[in-house]
Structure 1
Amino acid sequence: METTTKEKAEFRNYDQGDITAAVKEHYRKMRSRQTYEYVLRMKKKYLTFERPMDLWEMMERLNVLVDVSDPDLNLPNIIHLLQSAEGLRAEGRPDWMQLVGLIHDLGKAMYLFGADEDGTSQAEQWGLVGDVFVVGCALPDSCVYPEFNALNPDMQDSRYNTELGVYEAGCGLDNLHLAWGHDEYLYQVLTNHADNKIPEAGMAMIRYHSFYPWHSGGSYRQFMTAKDEQYLEWIHDFNKYDLYTKSPVVPVYEELKSYYMPIAEKYLGKGPINW
């Protein structure tokens, strides 16, 4: 896939001088504040589905959000979404997968009604973006900046600091609580959306694309089922478009909207989505 001039080894480099300080501080906050109790509280607070808003309005709102956890791209998030979708389109991937590329980070629009204290605002993004991990069990060394694992209060609690924690072996990824962020938020919003016809593979891509300690680090296998092995194949297929399409070349949103709008209506309907 020749969508960028960067080599693959140059992506997700967390030791890039000026970038490092801000990204590292983001992950220090995320790891030290995202506890089991916090995640349950965020789900109760944000998964109310009471904010009807047009898909394209949410897309445009992302034009002012820069993901502080991303060491590869210092551009508004909507540009990354367009680059992902266009990478999929260029390789003739199914229309539903192109749509997933276009919307997979749309949960970051949670910042519109987020709060600094929750880490879900433009200023404080530690509950919004970044690699996610399982809360309620021991944190693995496959997390980026694993030295921050010990800062998590749950790691001092015997209920949460073992390999299984509050879960059972082989319970399946769908029964785990992951760190709160845009993946789970968008997944739940679309699951609640009656007109959603995105295939199961696409929904898994949305829900687990930031779960790097699992899909790239090899952790959490104690929870996996045969279904999760299928998830892993889907995520690996999708993530090359999520990662390796990042480029300083900026697609023109207004020019592309006319192509993607009929696809969005095919799989999500024409009405507003309740966020």
Structure 2
Amino acid sequence: MQEKVFRDYNAPDVSVAVKEHYRKMRKNQTLDYVKRMHKKYLTFDKPMDLWDAMRHLNSLIDVSDPDINLPNIQHLIQSAEAIRADGRPDWMQLTGLIHDLGKVMFLKGSDEDGTSQAEQWGMVGDVFIVGCALPGTCVFPEFNSLNKDMQNEKYNTATGIYEKGCGIDNVDLAWGHDEYLYQVLNNHRTNKLPEEAMVMIRYHSFYPWHSGGSYKELLSDKDAGYLELIKDFNKYDLYTKSQKVYDLDEVLDYYQPIAEKYLGTEPIYW
């Protein structure tokens, strides 16, 4: 039996929608856009229960994903259950369950920002650093030249606006669900997730770095440790995708105590 190939963007069955998503993302995700999205969406003014947020992902299919067309909540449960089956720590199981939860951004998103169900280019997909040159390891690199920052000499060099060796904690990534959830949890008063979990949440979509090997000029010594964490997590984020469908209520009894252990019982402010 032929092994399934994941993330094959050159496959003949990759949809027009996937390619168009990345065209819009590469064109529109400039440094200025990212700064505006931080200001607009990191307001932490919408309280919502964790499980209510999870259920909202029953309404969202990630248009950027060439491997699966199920509601996003299924991918989260699939990831968590694989981590659980391997006997990994409970915090990592919870990380698998919530790592894409930033996609609830669509509840207060808009087509104009690319943060809606119809227009997702500001919410999902592989992220890259803004404020410096776009690498050839980006998905559909032919779209890199559409980004107007690449015509700006301040932004189109290997280091751009950043200092050499500054580390990925000190750059601005394209706006999306990773950074959104990271910032939401960072703001959550009762968050006790370990640093490893927060790294997995923040950088799991940063493929040009963790899989493409780009941005060497900007990396710090600390990023080598981050890379180990992301490659470990990526096994569960990527290779667990299937058509198996779960019911959240059937696994809730197991995951709820873990969520309360690390996130408390208070609503999360989005």
TM-score normalised according to structure 2 size: 0.98
Give the drift of 1:17: 3.3
CA distance in 1 between counterparts of 2:247 and 2:56 reads: 15
Please show how residues 93-112 of structure 1 align to structure 2 within 5 Å: 93-112=88-107
CA distance in 2 between counterparts of 1:15 and 1:174 reads: 31
The equivalent position to 2:148 in structure 1, one of 148, 153, 163, is 153
| Cα displacement string for residues 51-106 of structure 1 (whole angstroms, at most 9, x for unaligned residues) | 11000000000001000000000000000000000000000000000000000000
Matched, 1:85 2:113: no
The residue identity in structure 2 corresponding to 1:188 is Q
| Cα displacement string for residues 121-149 of structure 1 (whole angstroms, at most 9, x for unaligned residues) | 00000000000000000000000100000
Identity of paired residues, percent?
Answer: 70
Maintained 8 Å contact 1:69/1:130: yes
CA distance in 1 between counterparts of 2:193 and 2:88 reads: 14
The residue identity in structure 1 corresponding to 2:245 is V
Q: Which residue of 2 aligns with 1:203?
A: 198
CA distance in 1 between counterparts of 2:221 and 2:163 reads: 15
Q: Which residue of 2 aligns with 1:183?
A: 178
CA distance in 2 between counterparts of 1:7 and 1:125 reads: 30
Count of equivalent residues? 270
Runs of 4+ residues over 2 Å off in structure 1? 5-8, 15-20
TM-align CA RMSD:
1.0
Equivalent residue of 2:172, what SS? coil
Q: Which residue of 2 aligns with 1:169?
A: 164
Unaligned stretches of 5+ residues in structure 1: none
Matched, 1:142 2:115: no
Q: Which residue of 1 aligns with 2:111?
A: 116
Give the drift of 1:18: 4.2
Unaligned stretches of 5+ residues in structure 2: none
Give the drift of 1:159: 1.0
Q: Which residue of 1 aligns with 2:3?
A: 7
The equivalent position to 1:232 in structure 2, one of 227, 237, 260, is 227
Q: Which residue of 2 aligns with 1:261?
A: 256
Maintained 8 Å contact 1:215/1:236: yes
CA distance in 2 between counterparts of 1:98 and 1:6 reads: 29
The residue identity in structure 2 corresponding to 1:65 is L
The residue identity in structure 2 corresponding to 1:235 is I
Give the drift of 1:152: 0.4
CA distance in 1 between counterparts of 2:15 and 2:215 reads: 27
The equivalent position to 1:54 in structure 2, one of 25, 39, 49, is 49
CA distance in 2 between counterparts of 1:102 and 1:75 reads: 15
The residue identity in structure 2 corresponding to 1:117 is E
Maintained 8 Å contact 1:33/1:152: yes
The residue identity in structure 1 corresponding to 2:251 is L
Maintained 8 Å contact 1:14/1:20: no
Q: Aligned in 2, Cα 1:20/1:167: closer, same or farther, shift over 3 Å? A: same
